[in-house]
Amino acid sequence: MSAPADSHPLQPIEIDSIVEVLQSRSAERIQEIAREAHPGDVEQAFERFDEEDRDEILAALPTDVLSEWADYLPPVFLESRLVTLPKGEQREVLDALSDDELVDFLQEVEEVERPQYLELLPEEKQEVSQDLLRYPEHTAGGRMTMAMASVGAELTVKEALDELRAVSDQKEILSRIYVVDDERHLLGKLRLRDLAFNTWDTPVAELMDSDQTSVDAMADQEEAAKMVARYDLMALPVVDEERRLLGVITHDDAIEIFEEESTEDIERTAGIGGERGDLAYLQTSVWTHWKRRFGWVLVLAFLALTSGWVLHAFEEVMTTYYILALYLPMVVAAGGNTGAQSATMVIRAMSLGELGPAEFGRVVWKESRVGLLVGGMLGVCVAMQVQFLLPASLAPDGVQMMEVAAVVGIALVAQVLTSTLIGASLPLLARMARLDPAVVASPAITTLVDVSGSVIYFLLALALFP
């Protein structure tokens, strides 16, 4: 995403104020807020509207304002407005898009409609767009911008500055300038101030930093974003398999990628499937929400029937030792909570690159100790509550309250330990099987430990009660 124009003040405007102006549908007020508000704040304001209000507001936007905000509007918004405009105004809006946002837009529209938008672009922008469209949407190449500055290693400072001066208004980022050879192989980088504060006859090759950190164009976008964060980069060069410079992933694009990936992981952990798309919560239809949620809910509902079969199998134990019913929900819930905690910690560590399948044994060993400590302390606390705070009359015939306390306490230790190991192991096993770890850490873990907790609880009761 390109940076906002310099005319925008640094002081942001309250989102509620922008929402109120957009709701007015007044072209005059909208033009006024467009001069004052940062487009990023406008993007936030648009997320407050549902589909009907959004379309009405877009229809009220003058073309010059739409062009100003184009980089900050989801492609589906932009397309819904573009189809209502004459060709000349469509060309103006599309030309205002930075090349990476333009490609995002072209990737989102129907493939049969893509040529008509490409034809509206200047020849140079058509070539850039077609080059970028060769890369899948979620790769580094699909997210890069080609509006970066590069100079040849054989140039002097004066020659490099003359080249940059001629193209400065076409480049998104000039704080980092990349040094290439005649075939555009990446050799290093330098800063604009390196050129500004050295004599004109100094060779660029003497000033450049020979750091060639880069990412392959076909690498996953998340890998590129992690590299931007790991190496504290303003921009990450994107190269082809022969290490020729193609473009860059900027730091703001990396932030956007992290937001998309973390949202996807959170939703999958909650059992929400399908593609999220670019729309905010209020702009997503009820039908889309239903499609993304119902499948997992249905599967988990049938999996949960297993718990019912367990209760049915141990019906005689429940009837004879009815006090067990008082603590069964707590034992089961403790397993679900600790399993979810363990899975969350492991998935986070994996997403940060701290863990991989090779660390499986170390993770299991660490989580087993954590599970024993958590379960042991919880089991002692609850056993003491059973022993000293419950009236002895609640104990079944022939059973001492101490025996009830032992069953509940030991069941908690076993359940927490088991659940912790399940929660830690499944994401790593999923990665080994080339599956998304977030998928297996969904409510399926909770359902699994619900069943294991019930079985553990009743088997202990049969073993310890007379």
**Residue pLDDT, tens place only, 237-282:** 999 999 999 999 999 889 988 888 777 766 666 655 555 555 565 6
| CA angle, residues 165, 171, 176, in degrees to nearest 5 | 85
| Confidence grade of residue 236 (pLDDT, cut at 50, 70, 90) | very high
- The answer to whether the CB of 244 falls within 8 A of the CB of 235 is no
| CATH (one of 1.10.357.20, 3.40.50.150, 3.30.70.1140, 3.40.30.10) for 285-464 | 1.10.357.20
Longest dimension (CA), the chain: 99
* 206 in Cβ contact with 190 (< 8 Å): no
pLDDT interval class at 5 (50, 70, 90): very low
pLDDT at 184: 93
pLDDT for 185 equals 95
Residue spans of alpha helices (H) in 314-323:
315-320
59 or 367: which leads in pLDDT: 367
Q: Using the predicted structure, report yes or no on whether residue 2 has a pLDDT greater than 50.
A: no
What pLDDT score was predicted for residue 9? 47
What gap in Å lies between CA 327 and CA 383, rounded to an integer? Answer: 11
Of 391, 394, 390, 385, which is closest to residue 412 (Cα–Cα)?
A: 385
Own/partner pairs, 333-336, CB within 8 angstroms, 24+ separation? 334/375, 334/378, 334/412, 334/415, 334/416, 334/419, 334/453, 335/415, 335/416, 335/418, 335/419, 335/449, 335/450, 335/452, 335/453, 336/419, 336/445, 336/446, 336/449, 336/450
Q: Say whether pTM exceeds 0.85.
A: no
For 274-359, where are the alpha helices, taking DSSP H only? Answer: 286-313, 315-320, 324-351
Q: DSSP state, 223?
A: H
Pairing assessment for the beta strands 173-180 and 148-152 based on DSSP bridges: parallel
pLDDT of residue 271: 58
Mean pLDDT of 167-188: 86
pLDDT at 441: 60
Q: Would you state the pLDDT for residue 83?
A: 87
**141 has a pLDDT exceeding 90:** yes
pLDDT of 440 over the 70 cut: no
Lowest mean pLDDT among 32-36, 65-69, 216-220, 226-230: 32-36
CA 32, 282, 270: angle at the middle one, nearest 5?
Answer: 140
Tally Cβ neighbours within 10 Å of residue 59. Answer: 11
What's residue 155's pLDDT? 94
User: What percent of the chain is predicted at pLDDT more than 70?
Assistant: 89
Is 60 exceeded by the pLDDT of residue 197? yes
Residue 337: partners with Cβ closer than 8 Å, 6 or more residues away? none
Pick from 12-26, 107-121, 288-302 the range whose average pLDDT is largest: 107-121
Q: Residue 14: which residues within 8 A CB-CB, separation 6 or more? A: none
Mean pLDDT, all residues of the chain: 84
Count of CA atoms in the C-beta half-sphere (13 A) of 157: 16
Three-state DSSP state, 196: helix
Higher pLDDT, 36 or 441: 36
Q: What is the pLDDT of residues 81-133, one digit of tens each?
A: 898 899 999 999 998 888 888 888 898 888 888 899 999 998 888 888 888 88
Asked whether residue 10 carries a pLDDT value surpassing 70, the answer given is no
> Among 101, 125, 103, which residue's Cα sits nearest to residue 114?
103
Torsion angle of the four alpha carbons 344, 348, 354, 356, in this order, in degrees rounded to the nearest 10: 60
**Residue of 118 and 3 predicted with greater confidence:** 118
- Assigned CATH topology for domain 148-258: CBS-domain (3.10.580)
Backbone angles phi, psi at 200, to 5 degrees: -65, -25
> What CATH fold (topology level) applies to the domain 15-134?
MgtE N-terminal fold (1.25.60)
453-463: burial string, b at 16+ Cβ within 10 Å, e else: bbbbbbebbee
Q: Average pLDDT, stretch 66-82?
A: 85
pLDDT in tens, 379-430: 999 999 988 888 776 777 777 888 888 889 999 999 999 999 988 888 888 8
Among candidate residues 336, 201, 350, the one with its CA nearest the CA of residue 261: 350
> Best-predicted range by mean pLDDT among 24-38, 92-106, 278-292, 347-361?
92-106
Non-local CB neighbours of 176 within 8 Å, separated by 6+ positions: 148, 149, 189, 190, 191, 234, 235, 248
Q: How many other C-beta atoms can be found within 10 angstroms of the C-beta atom of residue 282?
A: 13
Q: Where are the domains of the chain?
A: 15-134, 148-258, 285-464
pLDDT attached to residue 8:
45
Q: Does the structure show a pLDDT above 70 at 147?
A: yes
Question: What pLDDT score does 19 carry?
Answer: 87
Query: What pLDDT band is residue 169 in, cutting at 50, 70 and 90?
Result: confident
Separation between Cα atoms, residue 436 and residue 224, nearest integer Å: 18
Q: How far apart are CA 31 and CA 145, in angstroms?
A: 29
Comparing 372 with 137, the larger pLDDT belongs to 372
pLDDT (0 to 100) of residue 7: 45
Q: Over 70: is that where the pLDDT of 207 sits?
A: yes
Q: Which of 219, 319, 293 is nearest to 443 (CA)?
A: 293
Cα separation, 401 vs 324, in Å, equals: 12
From residue 138, how far is each of 292, 301, 372 by CA, in Å?
A: 20, 33, 41
Q: What pLDDT shows up at residue 213?
A: 93
The phi and psi torsions of 442 (rounded to 5 degrees) equal -75, -175
